[in-house]
Amino acid sequence: MTTSRPANIDIGAALAEAEELYQANNPKSLAQHRSACAAMPGGNTRSAIHVDPFPLTMVRGTGARLWDLDGHEYVDFLSEFTAGIYGHSHPAIRQAINAALEGGLNFGAHNATEARFAAVICARFPSIELVRFTNSGTEANLMAVSAARAITGRPKILVFAGGYHGGVFYFRGHGSRLNAPFEYLLGRYNDLAAVEALVRPYRAELAAILVEPMQGTTGCVPAERSFLAGLRALADETGALLIFDEVMTSRLAPGGLQEVHGILPDLTTLGKYLGGGMSFGAFGGRSDIMGRFDPRRPDAFQHAGTFNNNVLTMNAGLVGLTEIYTPERTHALNASGDRLRQRLNAVVQRRGLAMQFTGLGSMFSVHMTDAPIRSQEDAERGNAKLRDLFYFDLVARGIWFAKRGMFALSIALDEQDGDKLAEAVEEFSETRAPLLAHTQSG
């Protein structure tokens, strides 16, 4: 694929030219999108992967490579928004799935793998003494929040601007009218004083504090340890339950970011890669809380779900966590991610451009601003059109990542792949330097 190189400082014109080139290079994906619109609203059944003017359709993946309908090859730096940590069709994952298929599906009963998988998760994550499985991180967060409300007998949930906890807990931008109908207090991320002031009038009504130790969707914005420690103290003082959403961040250390910070929540929610690439979610925590779900109790909380313990996920997840993404592999991948993020930042810093990469370990995001980013408000100050231009330019160079600027590494990537990304960022920085400099000075 070819790329355009306008020598002007009109971001709108450069973006329009990049979109025209994108459309010209991908006629089959455009035709597929138009066809899909006949059966799905906007041709879409997953909002996060829609792209204007139309999304690309992928037809094959191997290792760290993807191919689209028009035959273009990409290095996959998105890794299914952190769920694809094993790359495409890892042989050990395939073997586990094949073994499950041979044994039969849909037992309508307990299977031999689920307890083993649960034990591994309990051993790996410091706050989890007992765990239950769901089909997604959304379900896991819904069950955790609902349990907190039932246990405390209180209505309000403290969440944070820029947070994303699944399809019914969306607090990025202006939020979502489809959010679960709970009573929310919307706090500012990484601003403990403002949060304490917000909560003060409602201390007796607060059921839970739901927080990501690093906000992923809003641009890989890490929580400061003092902020998380303050939330732990606030939960203790008010009697609310502290819930860490580690659906994404659990990949960043063997025991997630709760292990890194040494701060234990009352409940933890999980998902994404932990299912070995299959649909997966889980919530777990202190035994006295999770014990409320024990069906042997006369007052047990109900929690059903046909596919909660499906054999494909149980087998793939167990193999992934015990044989592939071991603690040693976890440390290696995230150290590699830190080095790559630092390398990319060095590229733009050498030129003094209004651009940066934030994140931790194997997750990072690009922002078109050189100002510090500690919250959604900070991230929104970046130039959105310039970030879109970055997306189209890098896709044209064979780099696959999220249009909102997010990257997630898989174990299938190698040093040469990192070199390719760094070279693409270097070329973008050189080609688009007038636009970046204009944004900074403007």
DSSP secondary structure string, 14-58?
Answer: HHHHHHHHHHHH-HHHHHHHHHHTTTSGGG-S-GGG--SS----E
Instruction: Name 283's bridge partners.
Output: 132, 269
Q: For residue 192, what are the CA distances in angstroms to 196, 204, 274, 403?
A: 6, 19, 31, 31
Q: Are 291 and 131 in contact (CB under 8 A)?
A: no
The number of C-alpha atoms within 13 Å of 423 and in the hemisphere containing its C-beta is: 10
Query: Which is catalytic among the residues 272, 273, 325, 403?
Result: 272
**Cis omega (within 30 of 0) for bond into 155:** no
Distance CA(184)–CA(154), nearest Å, equals 12
Answer left, alpha or beta for residue 16, where phi above 0 means left and psi between -120 and 50 means alpha.
Answer: alpha
Q: Are 127 and 242 in contact (CB under 8 A)?
A: no
Nearest to 308 by CA among 286, 280, 329, 333: 280
Instruction: Name 243's bridge partners.
Output: 210, 267
Q: Are 63 and 42 in contact (CB under 8 A)?
A: no
Phi and psi angles of residue 407, each rounded to the nearest 5 degrees, phi first: -125, 140
Tokens of 389: 């231009």
Distance CA(344)–CA(247), nearest Å, equals 26
Distance CA(4)–CA(174), nearest Å, equals 34
H/E element, 73: strand 73-76
245 is catalytic: yes
Query: Which is catalytic among the residues 245, 378, 388, 417?
Result: 245
385 is catalytic: no
Interacting residues of 320 by C-beta distance below 8 A, sequence separation 6+? 85, 86, 90, 92, 93, 96, 273, 274, 275, 276, 277
Nearest to 200 by CA among 210, 192, 189: 192
Q: Active-site residues: which are they?
A: 164, 245, 272
